[in-house]
Amino acid sequence: MQNKKTIKAGIIGSGFAASFHYAALQRVFSAAVEVVGVYSIAMDEAEDFATSRGIKRYATLQEIMADVDIIHVCVPPAYHEEIVLSALKADKDVIVEKPFTGYFGNQDDRFNGDTFPREQALVYAIDSVKRMLQAEAKSKGRIMYAENWIYAPAVQKEREIIEKSKSQILWISGEQSHSGSHSLSYGKWKLSGGGSLIGKGCHPLTAVFYLKAVEGYARLGRPIRPKTVSARVHALTRMDSYDNKGYLKTHYSDIEDFATLHLVFEDGTVADIFANELSLGGTNNWLKIYANNHRTECNMSHNNSMQTYTPEEKNFEDVYIVEKTETKQGWSQVSPDEGWFLGYQHEMNAFYNAHIENGRIESNSQLAADTIITIYTAYLSAEKKGAELEICLVSD
C-alpha cells in the first residue's frame, strides 16, 4: 500500500471545540495527520491540552503557523477573523469553526447586546466577510468552514438523492435546539456575536443553503441562493415572569434564547429555521426536505439505532449517553457514535483530502459568508418586528 502523505496540523484554542477537532483528526483516513501542537492565550489550559495529548504548546501564533500545513481555528468567534487573515497571509489552509465571523461590539464592558442598532452589526459582518474573502483570493491557502452538518451522512445521502433525481426542493425546515450551553462565554454578545440564531441556527441554515446549491447545480448549472429573510427573536428565560425550575441554562446576559426565521430563495421556494435554548431531553438536530419527487427527514440526533433503560441513574454514572440529556434514568436514546452521525470525522477527512488534492471544498467560504450575512440580516429583521428584508450577499 502506498504511504499516505503526512500533513502537519496546528490547533488554535484549547477548549471544547479544540478537543473534538483533535478527536476527529484521529479518524482521518485520507492523510496521515500529525497534530504538531496547540496555541491558546489560556496558557495553563493549553499546557494541559498539550501534555495530555503528547503535543507541543506553542508560545505564539506565529510560531505554530511556521511549523504546520493546516490551521484549525477553535476559539470564540470574536477572534476568528484575525487568525484567519494571519493564516491566509502565511498561505496556509485554515479550518475555521462556526460561526464564521460576526459583530462583537466595541469590547467595552458597557456594551449591551440588547440595545445596539442591528444595522451596525450587519454592516460590520458584511465588511468582515469581505475582508476574509478578499484575503483568500490573494492567498495560496483556502478557507474550510467547519460546518459539520454539511458532512453528516444523512445530509450527504440527501445530496445524492437530489443530484441523481434532479429534485426541486419546495420547502425545507430545520432546527437545532437544546437546554442551553454550558460555556460561560456563550451568553455574552461581545464574545458570541448573538444568541440562538447565530449559535444554533447557523447549523440548519448552512445545510439549507448547501442543499439548495446542490439542487441548483444539478438542475440549472448554478447555485440557488437566498433572496429575502424575515425573523423574530426572544429572550424567554430572561423574562421577569420566567418560573425557573433549574433545568434550563440561565446565565445569558444580553442574547436571545429563541429564534425563528423564514427564507425565500431566488426561485421562489422557501425554508424555515428554528433555534432555541428551551428544549429539554437532549439536542434536536434535524432537517426536513419537501421536494417535488420525494420527502426526506434527516436526523443527526435523537436516532433510535440504540435504546437503553435503567431504573437508577447511578448505574450509568460513567456512561456517555447523548449530548445535553438532563437524566440517564428510564429509557434513553443512545448515540453509539455521536461524532459519526454529526459528521465531524467526515468533515475533517474531506478537508484533508481537499488539501492534498487541491479539490473542491463542499463547506467553503462562500457558504460561510452567505450564512453570516443572512443571520445578521435576520437580526435586523427581528429589530423591525419581522419585516421581510433583502439579503445583500457578497461573492468571492
Q: Looking at per-residue confidence, does 334 or 60 come out higher?
A: 60
| Average predicted confidence (pLDDT) for the chain | 94
Over residues 1-17, the mean pLDDT reads: 87
Domains of the chain: 6-146 (3.40.50.720), 148-390 (3.30.360.10)
The tens digit of pLDDT for each residue in 137-158 reads: 999 999 999 999 999 999 999 9
Give the model's pLDDT for residue 335. 82
Give the global pTM. Answer: 0.94
The tens digit of pLDDT for each residue in 169-200 reads: 999 999 999 999 877 778 899 989 999 999 99
Give the model's pLDDT for residue 332. 86
Give the model's pLDDT for residue 2. 58
Give the model's pLDDT for residue 339. 84
The tens digit of pLDDT for each residue in 313-328 reads: 999 999 988 888 888 8
CB of 356 closer than 8 Å to CB of 167: no
For residue 337, give the C-alpha cell: 457514535
Tell me the pLDDT band of 338, cut-offs 50, 70 and 90.
confident
Over residues 89-108, the mean pLDDT reads: 92
Tell me the pLDDT band of 1, cut-offs 50, 70 and 90.
very low
Over residues 31-46, the mean pLDDT reads: 95
Cα gap 194→85, rounded to integer Å: 22
Give the model's pLDDT for residue 396. 65
Over residues 46-62, the mean pLDDT reads: 96
